[in-house]
A and B are shown apart, each in its own frame.
Chain A
């Protein structure tokens, strides 16, 4: 299985990024998205019935894919520690419950998060590049990234400059991602957030996905969770198609992370069906697919308890974040 993308595109698409016009020609030459067909496909995959042992497997897989997130102005080191403890052992009453994939915090909280998950496989992800707006100078964004990486972040979640993207300055966005990729060095994986709710059209989401992957993203991520429209089954399906096609063309596998608005186990399982039916089994692993979420984990745990005991569980039996 191919591993992460290299900083410089080593695949057959190298000439695409030679100039603004070649990049534009390539991105606008991508096939247009059939919006009705996309939404119908996402909706029909959402009707699959996942029961009993398959459901148990899906719930554990979903738990292991959660990037347990707290991105509030009111975050304290104490809250991050609590979150880290929960990520390592989500259900203290049941030691068979898997750990989550990562905790996701602001850069200044990375040291606290590292300490909280020390000794476990749980990664620390940090948002960066003037999250969530991304409206800052390049120097500030890169300093933000370096601070996170120096503090020990295993993963960096950057936001793209949506203003530049919508204005058609694709090369600017590309260069920015490449620069951030370099700042991450070899130690940190890079997730690129497109904020799909602000990109207006499905065509734009497809273009952004390819742009991000060309620039060397390890993950493409739907949203910050800070705007009205976050991850939807349709835009996630579209991004899954993009990573599938990208691997077919270049041999490089890229991960996908829907974030924001996924609150129930039922929703999470629908996303897993999308992954399996679109990108394939290779992506059914927390190295290649993640959920950016906070309240989702509690619902997954309650469903897990229900499967184990046969009784419906309640919010009194999971931790309050």
Chain B
């Protein structure tokens, strides 16, 4: 059999449901854990970040307005699609993180399970953090959670797939849309995840994936007036501080989790990452005078 020519993959960004190259035309070399060249990834500019925010804002209305049940179905569909391409992700995660095949497979399985876990949460979170409040007056008083809006997510630097899914899924499960800055060192699993998202009935723009220098992309995102929240998981100490200051300008919600680099992504996630990007809306509704009609309210 003759030797085949190698078919290299051109990794591209995922913005607004499409796969553009960086507006700047730049790429950078991505290597595996041992320093061997793997592929070129787009080196996004601040204009790519701006375009991603526009796409995320455009998608927000429909995604936050979709029923929680529907969002759950779509998140589960993502898990299904990821399952079908398990081998590809095992190889990519093994390369990116320098893991043995079996360990990489465990990471991918955990990432798939995480989508399923958050798929189940979409229509239950309101029951946990919302509900009727007892008030001293003739009112029904109801609180319900609503998504914060467009969330900039700096994905963890070390865990290229499980960590990524663990920060993205909770953001979109509750109806936010996300601009994700992939791990600078190992962005390839994140860029490939775009292909799964694009084929999972997830509307374009709900998740936008950028790769490149975290500091370069995150700075305009943190200062952007049309971004409602930022998750600093993938920022180092100095950068996180700078971003937090920039984010204060339009009172963004900021999530700055501790610890960052040696976080154990396989642990049970809890609901903190969902509640971090929820607003509580409380409605007062009059019931009429208490006792006047012998009502038991």
Q: How far is the CA of A269 from the CA of B53 in the complex (A)?
A: 22
In the bound complex, do residue B226 and residue A313 qualify as a contact, i.e. CB atoms below 8 Å apart?
Answer: yes
In the bound complex, do residue B249 and residue A312 qualify as a contact, i.e. CB atoms below 8 Å apart?
Answer: no
In the bound complex, do residue B223 and residue A316 qualify as a contact, i.e. CB atoms below 8 Å apart?
Answer: no
Query: For B53, what are the chain A residues with a Cβ–Cβ distance below 8 Å?
Result: 312, 314
- With most chain B CB atoms within 10 A of its CB, the pick from A311, A312, A315, A316 is A312
Q: How far is the CA of A317 from the CA of B226 in the complex (A)?
A: 9
In the bound complex, do residue B57 and residue A311 qualify as a contact, i.e. CB atoms below 8 Å apart?
Answer: no
| A-B CB pair tally, cutoff 8 Å | 26
In the bound complex, do residue A314 and residue B57 qualify as a contact, i.e. CB atoms below 8 Å apart?
Answer: yes
In the assembled complex, B224 has its CB within 8 A of some CB on chain A: yes
Q: For residue A314, which residue of chain B has the nearest CB?
A: B226
In the bound complex, do residue A314 and residue B223 qualify as a contact, i.e. CB atoms below 8 Å apart?
Answer: no
In the assembled complex, A37 has its CB within 8 A of some CB on chain B: no
In the assembled complex, B220 has its CB within 8 A of some CB on chain A: yes
In the assembled complex, A310 has its CB within 8 A of some CB on chain B: yes
Query: For B213, what are the chain A residues with a Cβ–Cβ distance below 8 Å?
Result: none
Size bracket of the B interface: 10 to 19
Which residues of A from 281 to 321 have beta carbons under 8 Å from B? 310-317
Q: How far is the CA of A316 from the CA of B57 in the complex (A)?
A: 11
Which residues of A from 74 to 109 have beta carbons under 8 Å from B? none
Query: For A314, what are the chain B residues with a Cβ–Cβ distance below 8 Å?
Result: 53, 57, 224-227
Q: How far is the CA of A315 from the CA of B225 in the complex (A)?
A: 9
Which residues of B from 225 to 265 have beta carbons under 8 Å from A? 225-227, 249
In the bound complex, do residue A312 and residue B220 qualify as a contact, i.e. CB atoms below 8 Å apart?
Answer: yes
In the assembled complex, B101 has its CB within 8 A of some CB on chain A: no
Q: Smallest CB–CB gap between B55 and chain A, Å? A: 13
Query: For B227, what are the chain A residues with a Cβ–Cβ distance below 8 Å?
Result: 314
Query: For B57, what are the chain A residues with a Cβ–Cβ distance below 8 Å?
Result: 314-315
In the assembled complex, B50 has its CB within 8 A of some CB on chain A: yes
Q: For residue A305, which residue of chain B has the nearest CB?
A: B225
Query: For B226, what are the chain A residues with a Cβ–Cβ distance below 8 Å?
Result: 312-316
Q: For residue B53, which residue of chain A has the nearest CB?
A: A312
**Contact indicator per residue, chain B 54-83, by CB within 8 Å of chain A (1) or not (0):** 000100000000000000000000000000
Check A317/B223 contact, CB under 8 A, given A311-B249, A312-B50.
Answer: no
In the bound complex, do residue A313 and residue B225 qualify as a contact, i.e. CB atoms below 8 Å apart?
Answer: yes
Q: How far is the CA of A316 from the CA of B50 in the complex (A)?
A: 15
Q: How far is the CA of A310 from the CA of B220 in the complex (A)?
A: 9
Q: Smallest CB–CB gap between B52 and chain A, Å? A: 11
Q: For residue A313, which residue of chain B has the nearest CB?
A: B225
Q: Smallest CB–CB gap between A65 and chain B, Å? A: 24
Which residues of B from 155 to 202 have beta carbons under 8 Å from A? none
Q: Smallest CB–CB gap between A214 and chain B, Å? A: 44
Q: How far is the CA of A35 from the CA of B226 in the complex (A)?
A: 41
Q: For residue B50, which residue of chain A has the nearest CB?
A: A312
**Contact indicator per residue, chain A 27-64, by CB within 8 Å of chain B (1) or not (0):** 00000000000000000000000000000000000000
In the bound complex, do residue A310 and residue B223 qualify as a contact, i.e. CB atoms below 8 Å apart?
Answer: yes
Q: How far is the CA of A204 from the CA of B227 in the complex (A)?
A: 47
- With most chain A CB atoms within 10 A of its CB, the pick from B50, B225, B227 is B225
Q: How far is the CA of A315 from the CA of B53 in the complex (A)?
A: 12
Select one of B220, B225, B249 contacting A316, CB under 8 A: B225
Q: For residue B220, which residue of chain A has the nearest CB?
A: A312
Query: For A310, what are the chain B residues with a Cβ–Cβ distance below 8 Å?
Result: 223
Q: How far is the CA of A311 from the CA of B222 in the complex (A)?
A: 9
Q: Smallest CB–CB gap between B177 and chain A, Å? A: 14
- With most chain B CB atoms within 10 A of its CB, the pick from A311, A313, A315, A317 is A311
Q: Smallest CB–CB gap between A59 and chain B, Å? A: 16
Query: For B224, what are the chain A residues with a Cβ–Cβ distance below 8 Å?
Result: 311-312, 314
**Contact indicator per residue, chain A 156-178, by CB within 8 Å of chain B (1) or not (0):** 00000000000000000000000
Q: How far is the CA of A315 from the CA of B250 in the complex (A)?
A: 13
Query: For A315, what are the chain B residues with a Cβ–Cβ distance below 8 Å?
Result: 57, 226
Query: For A316, what are the chain B residues with a Cβ–Cβ distance below 8 Å?
Result: 225-226
Q: How far is the CA of A311 from the CA of B226 in the complex (A)?
A: 10
Which residues of A from 117 to 171 have beta carbons under 8 Å from B? none
Q: How far is the CA of A314 from the CA of B249 in the complex (A)?
A: 13
Query: For B249, what are the chain A residues with a Cβ–Cβ distance below 8 Å?
Result: 311
Query: For A317, what are the chain B residues with a Cβ–Cβ distance below 8 Å?
Result: 225
**Contact indicator per residue, chain B 86-126, by CB within 8 Å of chain A (1) or not (0):** 00000000000000000000000000000000000000000
Q: Smallest CB–CB gap between B209 and chain A, Å? A: 19
Q: Smallest CB–CB gap between B111 and chain A, Å? A: 32
Q: Smallest CB–CB gap between B253 and chain A, Å? A: 15
Q: How far is the CA of A312 from the CA of B223 in the complex (A)?
A: 7
Q: How far is the CA of A314 from the CA of B227 in the complex (A)?
A: 8
Q: For residue A315, which residue of chain B has the nearest CB?
A: B226
- Between A and B, 8 residue pairs with Cβ closer than 8 Å are A311-B220, A311-B225, A312-B50, A312-B225, A314-B53, A314-B225, A314-B226, A315-B226
Q: B residues near A, CB below 8 A?
A: 50, 53, 57, 220, 223-227, 249
User: What 6 pairs across the A-B complex have the smallest Cβ distances?
Assistant: A314-B226, A311-B223, A314-B225, A312-B224, A313-B225, A312-B50
Q: A residues near B, CB below 8 A?
A: 310-317
